[in-house]
Amino acid sequence: MFCFLQDEAYKGRKRVGSFSAASNVTGRKSDIQAIALLLHQHDAYACFDYAAAGPYVEIDMNPSGRPGAHIDAIFLSMHKVRQSKHTRYLERFAHF
């Protein structure tokens, strides 16, 4: 990822980093804050796919005390987070 962020070919262009929050094969979680920090240090957006992990983990898009480690966008699979700990937040945006 680091070489892409430094690639002169993309200089001056807005970049988007999009990563899986966790593998749906191994269950291994990504280091979200470290990835987001690196992306933001290079003026790129940090996006994470929480379709697999979303129902089982805390989602903190704006971790306190970690400037630059925020998440710009997340992707959720609505039918998977239904009846999960996040339902009360999602009800504000969608009708189940």
Applying CB under 6 A, the residues found at the interface with ligand PLP are 20, 24, 49, 51-52, 77
Which DSSP string do the residues of 43-82 spell out, in sequence order?
A: TEEEEEE-TTTTTTS---SS-TT-TT---SEEE--HHHHT
Smallest distance from ligand PLP to CB 36, Å: 17
Smallest distance from ligand PLP to CB 70, Å: 21
Smallest distance from ligand PLP to CB 14, Å: 23
Cβ-based nearer residue to ligand PLP, 29 or 66: 29
Q: How far apart are CA 36 and CA 3, in angstroms?
A: 16
